[in-house]
Chains A and B, each alone.
Chain A
Amino acid sequence: MIALPLLLPLGFAILNVLAWKSPRAQRVLTLVGAALQTGAAFWLLGRVRAEGILHLPIGNWPAPFGIVLTADLFSAIMLAVSAVVGLAAALYSQGGMDERRVRYGYYPLFFFLLTGVNGAFLAGDLFNLYVWFEVMLMASFVLIALGGERPQVEGAIKYVILNLLASTLFLSAVGLLYNLCGTLNLADLARRIPALEAGGEVTLIAVLFLVAFGIKSAIFPLFFWLPASYHTPPVTITALFSGLLTKVGVYALYRVFTLLFASDAAYLPTLLLVLAGFTMTTGVLGAAAQMDFRRLLSFHIVSQIGYLLMGLGLFSPAALAAGIYFMVHVILAKTALFFVAGIVRQTEGSYNLKELGSLYARRPGLALLFLLPALSLAGLPPLSGFFAKLALVLAGFDLRSYAIVGVGLGVSLLTLYSMTKVWNEVFWKERKEAGAAPLRPVSAWMWAATLGLAAVSVAAGLLAGPLLDLSAQAAAQLADPSLYIQAVLGGAP
């Protein structure tokens, strides 16, 4: 039953709505739900690995006429990583989410968001993908605005308007593609598009998808909504977003550009690489200019998306594999960093780098919890970021794409710069009014979630061998659309 990763969060969202009056029941439900979802995701990953691409026609209407859910290795990996992040966020929420927001639907929205995310990963149909994007958008919008603080509302407005623009473009592109092909099923589209005579028009539609998903995944020059909104809600929500939202956009880019628009081997990949270079650079420079912990991390999300785009733009199986591994790496490391920022805020009462300090002496454990994912993000060995970047570099060199590799490495140094800037300011520097503010206690849940996620992140580096093999298998499926087509529609492609 491959719909389980979709049905579980939806079911638990509904259960949480039913338990609206009882935050205590919601907390328990959330932990159970997130754990079950993680189990289901890993179970699905195991099955897909063993049996190949799986699909499920909903309502037993045969593809391509009904909607199918499809899970290939890439989907399954994304589901598994998202589930891990979801579980960690569920734990973190127990201590990191205030009572007011819990009383007003935080947990139901949490699961609705996961429903949308998982639905997007499983969608085997272009319009269905759109629907899950809408679920995600609506849930994330309410989560940003939940609490109604003024900056939140302002951030939420920018978030929702720019993302609606993306939805509009997405929907237009879906409509245009339907007009060309008469189908919405991804496998069917993949089969029909190469046979079309209108190559230029298809590329034009691909560009529309690029912009639509580009907004969703916050690439240059479309990323404005992210730095404008991510620092406004409580950090638990930001952490969850950083691990999931933009990554679904990137997932969609990987999906449509490998499955539907792979025939254009020169123009689109070049375009992607150019955008990748700018995304990396502008993001990291944006981060260098920040003195707010969360804003700095938010700009780094943008920068890291550039690397994911680079994997897609290079477009060889090795590069796609590198991109997939990079995605796993960055989801874990980034979310862990936001968790750390939340703990810092909890104990010190600030996100402002200028006000913080002295935490290396006072909280050595926290310092280590920051340092590991931060250095991983900067690409230092033997952490996951190193392997991710190395894999991209090797793939780039193999294709003689020296320029993008150079940009990637340069940005890597700037990432190291801003991660160590945080280290210097938050952990090393002496806090100005030391002793004035006694340490506030941090909930054990938050520690557990952060520790757990950091450990998973470190493990992703130490287990780079098997994980890269898995990514390579997933990339091999992406690189050969006929596997997908055959799995969904049967028979010869």
Chain B
Amino acid sequence: MLTSQLTWLVLTLAGGVLFAAFAPLLRRRAERLAAPLLALLPLAVFVQLLAALPAVQMGETAQARFDWVPALGLSLTFTLDGLGLAMGLLIAGIGALVILYGGAYLHGHPSLGRFYAVVLLFMTAMLGIALSGNALLLFVFWELTSITSFLLIGFEHERPGARAAAWQALLVTGGGGLALMAGFALLAVITGSFEMNVWAARAAEIAVHPLAPAAFLLILGGAATKSAQFPFHFWLPNAMEAPTPVSAYLHSATMVKAGVFLLARLFPVLGGLPLWTPALTTLGLLTLVGASLLALAQTDLKRLLAYTTVSALGMLVFLLGLGTPLALKTAALFLVTHALYKGALFLSAGSVDHGTGTRDIARLGGIGRAMPFTAAAAGLAALSMAGLPPLLGFIAKELVYETTLEAAAPLLLTGLTLVANAATVVVAVWVGWRPFWGRPGDDHLHPHEGTPGLWGPPLLLALLGLALGLFPALTGDGLIAPMTAAIVGQSVKVKLALWHGLTPMLGLSALTLLLGVGLAALRRVVQPRIAAFWRALAPLGPANLYHRFVHGLLSLASWQTAVLQNGYLRVYALVIVLTTAALAGLTIVLKDVTLTLSPWQPPRFYDFILVGVILTAAFLVTRSRSRVATIALLGSIGFSIAVIFLLYSAPDLAMVQFAIETLTVILFVLVLYKLPKFSRLSSTPTRIADVFFALTGGLLMTLIMLLVSRHASDASAAAYYAANSLSQANGRNIVNVILVDFRGLDTLGEITVLAIAAIGVFSLIRLGGKPGRKQRAVPKGGRTK
């Protein structure tokens, strides 16, 4: 039953991708209907997930599996359990609202159609993450969310800021993605599978494997970049360049939770590692406290919300790190709570921006009367964020304190959490109260409430936070318990309540509120100081390090390219010769190749003459200042070699060599008078160095020749040619028979080369521009053979 529901869900999603592709067309054809029609897809998913909820509450899970790339262990494995289902509900539910909201917010924008398409694509990918049972499949969706996030942050791509932010987010999360892939691959090396249930089943084996810590840290790297943990958090506030519906959806409610989700998903696999708790709690606490204090320095509504999002993500990682059943339950609840109130706050911030044209809290104030619905939505959500009863945020905060009080170092942990929570209250007041009911800092705001599409979705989300808070038992049993059960790996009881009696947690809650509200009232005093503090620290901040790293890399790239690809042919040739010599030398040394010379035959007098001629000519060529002399000297080397061929009984080879040398000299002489004046371009030291390099190359080839010729073979091919030339091929001249028959294909190839050369010479002469250029083309075309 549940399995067939899951299959239908997957089919809906697959259809959704096609649906998304038609979004731009739909928008062009039916501007008004597009948003409601497109919201039907997330709505359908939402309904399907709700329908599956009762079975999941009973403890059922479902899996559907299809092969994709078996060779790599990638299969389309979809799993539906409490955790994935809750994430899915958030993704689909908020997705539907964001589509409706986006249609109103970006009304009339030329790229609205593309916005719909990419948001729907993102939603599909995000649901894919929630439902993946195969780690590689999850990774596929994971990267898709990075790309769609890139496209959405850069939605207003004419602005350099938007482009830079999109790029930064992509590179940071992309880098994390590669770490994640490596981590998954290591787990697959350990277990031989990418199926996460296989990993969970073999958790004990993984825990003791020497590669496990590396795998864990790599996966943590992926999760930390995606979920904006310190020191990778800086991309998230910058991502506020995106249109507000995107910030609400991707960068607070869903995508940035993917890292947290992954850690929760892998808790049964990696939770047993000794590294898990110290690494995650440290990371989480740093992010939680750091980001909440950073938030206090912000004046932009969206950046305020972004930093508190980072802080909330830190909280989630911290809670997962603690790993106790209570902490996991708290994490599950907090995840849902945060998505609801933060989504609502972002959407109302967008409405405020839309209605007043600013997001600066110093300028905003007193607009509540003009924008009552937005004010109500933001107010309710802020109450949840601040943790007031009877909202869901209150219950979550109580649980957080209960968790820290139970943990290993209760005083430290509770203290740090208190600081962060108080800062959160401050921000809640600043974003939920001040713009609407505070004193206006600017009288020219002209606020007006937008269309229902702009206030309906945030209000709905905020009301949902209220409703879930009002029925805590239902929320606990219905949603949080299945979530926690999926993280822990066994069924758990979750009893949520608004009233626990007079507990230490209640006292802490009250203290938090007091501190927060007090600080919030002192904004003009507090904020500049905190801002100054962070400004002083900025040079050490990771955002700055990122910029310096990128710049450093680019300088390195330019320097390296200028050195390597310097444009000088002679340097290129030199590097190649030296590389050959170095590699060959290395091989000779490492492979312990020794040269033992066989006894020399006494040299004959004409050997001396030939060698003498060649050496003298070679030396003189390097000194020559006249082209004619150079050609003559080179010619004499060629002819001497031909004579060597002749003396060592290869008359046919000598014939060929004579012919070629003669032709070359004649051709050279013919073009000689067309060449520019001879000039010497290299300095003397360069020329001396060149002699050295040339000697290195020559000696190397000689050495290799000597080394290899000791092991000459029996030359069976020659015997075969000699035996069969006349009898089989009817030719007396063996060389001819080899050329035209035994190895005729080679000759065909060489003829082809000549034909190409002929075309080349012809075309280059005809197509060359100026006359001077034509002439140079001739020797070049003719040289190759």
CB within 8 Å of A: which B677-705 residues: 701, 704-705
Asked if B139 is at the interface (CB within 8 A of a chain A CB), the reply is: yes
Closest to A148 in B: B768
Asked if A141 is at the interface (CB within 8 A of a chain B CB), the reply is: yes
Known: A197-B711, A397-B189. A17 touches B721 (CB 8 A): no
Min CB gap A71→B, angstroms:
15
CB within 8 Å of B: which A108-145 residues: 108-109, 112, 115-116, 119, 127-128, 131-132, 134-135, 137-139, 141-142, 145
The answer for the CA separation of A310 and B559 in the assembled complex, in Å, is 25
Q: Is the CB of B717 within 8 A of A64?
A: yes
Which of B480-488, B549-557, B654-662 has 4 or more CB atoms under 8 Å from chain A?
A: B549-557
Q: Is the CB of A67 within 8 A of B743?
A: yes
Asked if A444 is at the interface (CB within 8 A of a chain B CB), the reply is: no
The answer for the CA separation of A60 and B284 in the assembled complex, in Å, is 74
Q: Is the CB of A127 within 8 A of B743?
A: yes
Min CB gap B343→A, angstroms:
28
Q: Is the CB of A424 within 8 A of B163?
A: yes
Asked if B50 is at the interface (CB within 8 A of a chain A CB), the reply is: no
Q: Is the CB of B767 within 8 A of A465?
A: no
Mark interface residues in B143-169 (1 if CB within 8 Å of A CB, else 0). Answer: 110010010001001101001000100
Known: A182-B713, A198-B708, A413-B174. A172 touches B701 (CB 8 A): yes
Asked if A176 is at the interface (CB within 8 A of a chain B CB), the reply is: yes
Q: Write out the residue numbers on chain A whose beta carbons fall within 8 Å of the beta carbon of B171.
A: 413, 416-417, 420
Min CB gap B454→A, angstroms:
26
Min CB gap A58→B, angstroms:
5
**Residue from B154, B178, B572 within 8 A of A162 (CB atoms):** B572
Q: Write out the residue numbers on chain B whose beta carbons fall within 8 Å of the beta carbon of A145.
A: 760, 764, 777, 780
**Residue from B67, B716, B769 within 8 A of A148 (CB atoms):** B769
Closest to A290 in B: B561
Asked if A205 is at the interface (CB within 8 A of a chain B CB), the reply is: yes
Mark interface residues in A294-315 (1 if CB within 8 Å of B CB, else 0). Answer: 0000010000000000000000
Min CB gap B656→A, angstroms:
15
**Residue from B572, B749, B764, B780 within 8 A of A131 (CB atoms):** B749
Q: Is the CB of B773 within 8 A of A465?
A: no
The answer for the CA separation of A210 and B579 in the assembled complex, in Å, is 11
CB within 8 Å of A: which B554-586 residues: 554, 556-558, 560-561, 564-565, 567, 569, 572-573, 575-577, 579-580, 583-584
The answer for the CA separation of A145 and B564 in the assembled complex, in Å, is 24
Closest to A165 in B: B576
Known: A134-B750, A146-B764. A465 touches B720 (CB 8 A): no
Closest to A196 in B: B711
Q: Is the CB of A390 within 8 A of B185?
A: yes
Q: Is the CB of A285 within 8 A of B713?
A: no
B-side binding surface: helix, strand, loop or mixed?
A: helix
Q: Is the CB of B174 within 8 A of A134?
A: no
Which of A25-33, A330-338, A379-387, A445-453 has 4 or more CB atoms under 8 Å from chain B?
A: A379-387
Q: Is the CB of B163 within 8 A of A61?
A: no
Q: Is the CB of B767 within 8 A of A147?
A: yes
The answer for the CA separation of A17 and B751 in the assembled complex, in Å, is 14
Closest to B190 in A: A397
Asked if A439 is at the interface (CB within 8 A of a chain B CB), the reply is: no
A-side binding surface: helix, strand, loop or mixed?
A: helix
Q: Write out the residue numbers on chain A whose beta carbons fall within 8 Å of the beta carbon of B590.
A: 267
Q: Is the CB of A288 within 8 A of B760?
A: no
Q: Is the CB of A286 within 8 A of B557?
A: yes
Min CB gap B530→A, angstroms:
34
Q: Is the CB of B70 within 8 A of A208?
A: no
Q: Is the CB of A181 within 8 A of B170?
A: no
Closest to B774 in A: A148
Q: Is the CB of A180 within 8 A of B711?
A: yes
Asked if A201 is at the interface (CB within 8 A of a chain B CB), the reply is: yes
User: Which of B575, B746, B780 lies at the interface centre, i.e. has the most chain A CB atoms within 10 A of its CB?
Assistant: B746
**Residue from B69, B560, B744, B764 within 8 A of A465 (CB atoms):** B69
Asked if A81 is at the interface (CB within 8 A of a chain B CB), the reply is: no
Closest to B159 in A: A430
Asked if B302 is at the interface (CB within 8 A of a chain A CB), the reply is: no
Q: Write out the residue numbers on chain A whose beta carbons fall within 8 Å of the beta carbon of B186.
A: 397
Known: A135-B756, A160-B780, A428-B163. A104 touches B763 (CB 8 A): yes
**Residue from A135, A150, A222 within 8 A of B749 (CB atoms):** A135
The answer for the CA separation of A394 and B68 in the assembled complex, in Å, is 17
Closest to B144 in A: A381
Q: Is the CB of B72 within 8 A of A394?
A: yes
Asked if B383 is at the interface (CB within 8 A of a chain A CB), the reply is: no
Asked if A276 is at the interface (CB within 8 A of a chain B CB), the reply is: no
Closest to B761 in A: A142
Min CB gap A14→B, angstroms:
9
Mark interface residues in B326-356 (1 if CB within 8 Å of A CB, else 0). Answer: 0000000000000000000000000000000
**Residue from B150, B170, B561 within 8 A of A285 (CB atoms):** B561
Q: Is the CB of A390 within 8 A of B136?
A: yes
Q: Is the CB of B588 within 8 A of A67?
A: no
Asked if B503 is at the interface (CB within 8 A of a chain A CB), the reply is: no
Known: A58-B744, A387-B69. A179 touches B708 (CB 8 A): yes
Q: Is the CB of A204 within 8 A of B565?
A: no
Asked if A482 is at the interface (CB within 8 A of a chain B CB), the reply is: no
The answer for the CA separation of A299 and B714 in the assembled complex, in Å, is 46
**Residue from A160, A183, A289 within 8 A of B561 (CB atoms):** A289
Q: Write out the residue numbers on chain B whose beta carbons fall within 8 Å of the beta carbon of A211.
A: 576, 579-580, 583
The answer for the CA separation of A271 and B140 in the assembled complex, in Å, is 33
**Residue from A105, A127, A156, A203 within 8 A of B759 (CB atoms):** A105
Asked if B668 is at the interface (CB within 8 A of a chain A CB), the reply is: no
The answer for the CA separation of A387 and B139 in the assembled complex, in Å, is 12
Mark interface residues in B718-729 (1 if CB within 8 Å of A CB, else 0). Answer: 101100100000
Min CB gap A194→B, angstroms:
14
Q: Write out the residue numbers on chain A whose beta carbons fall within 8 Å of the beta carbon of B189.
A: 394, 397-398
Q: Is the CB of A148 within 8 A of B746?
A: no
Asked if B65 is at the interface (CB within 8 A of a chain A CB), the reply is: no
Q: Write out the residue numbers on chain B whose beta carbons fall within 8 Å of the beta carbon of A116.
A: 752
Asked if B591 is at the interface (CB within 8 A of a chain A CB), the reply is: yes
User: Which of B576, B757, B776 lies at the interface centre, i.e. has the most chain A CB atoms within 10 A of its CB?
Assistant: B576
Min CB gap B643→A, angstroms:
20
Asked if B408 is at the interface (CB within 8 A of a chain A CB), the reply is: no
The answer for the CA separation of A13 and B751 in the assembled complex, in Å, is 13
**Residue from A225, A361, A380, A394 within 8 A of B147 (CB atoms):** A380
Known: A61-B742, A105-B763, A147-B767. A225 touches B712 (CB 8 A): no
The answer for the CA separation of A382 and B121 in the assembled complex, in Å, is 14
Asked if B745 is at the interface (CB within 8 A of a chain A CB), the reply is: yes
Q: Is the CB of A391 within 8 A of B565?
A: no
Q: Is the CB of A109 within 8 A of B557?
A: no
CB within 8 Å of B: which A347-403 residues: 360-361, 364, 375, 380-382, 386-387, 390-391, 393-394, 397-398
Known: A104-B767, A138-B760. A409 touches B752 (CB 8 A): no
25 A–B pairs (Cβ distance < 8 Å), ordered by A:
A59-B745, A61-B742, A65-B742, A105-B759, A112-B756, A132-B749, A134-B749, A135-B756, A138-B760, A138-B785, A142-B764, A146-B760, A182-B718, A200-B591, A211-B580, A285-B560, A288-B554, A360-B157, A364-B114, A397-B189, A405-B182, A413-B175, A416-B171, A424-B157, A427-B157
12 additional contacts, CB 8 Å, given A17-B755, A105-B762, A394-B189? Answer: A134-B750, A145-B760, A148-B773, A149-B769, A172-B701, A176-B708, A204-B587, A222-B579, A224-B575, A285-B557, A286-B561, A381-B144
Q: Which B residues are within 8 Å of any A CB, using their own CB?
A: 67-72, 74, 110-111, 114, 136, 139-140, 143-144, 147, 150, 154, 157-158, 160, 163, 167, 170-171, 174-175, 178-179, 181-182, 185-186, 188-189, 553-554, 556-558, 560-561, 564-565, 567, 569, 572-573, 575-577, 579-580, 583-584, 587-588, 590-593, 701, 704-705, 707-718, 720-721, 724, 741-746, 749-750, 752-753, 755-757, 759-760, 762-764, 766-769, 773-774, 776-777, 780-781, 783-785
Closest 9 CB pairs of A and B: A142-B760, A182-B713, A131-B749, A200-B593, A428-B157, A148-B768, A104-B763, A200-B591, A224-B572
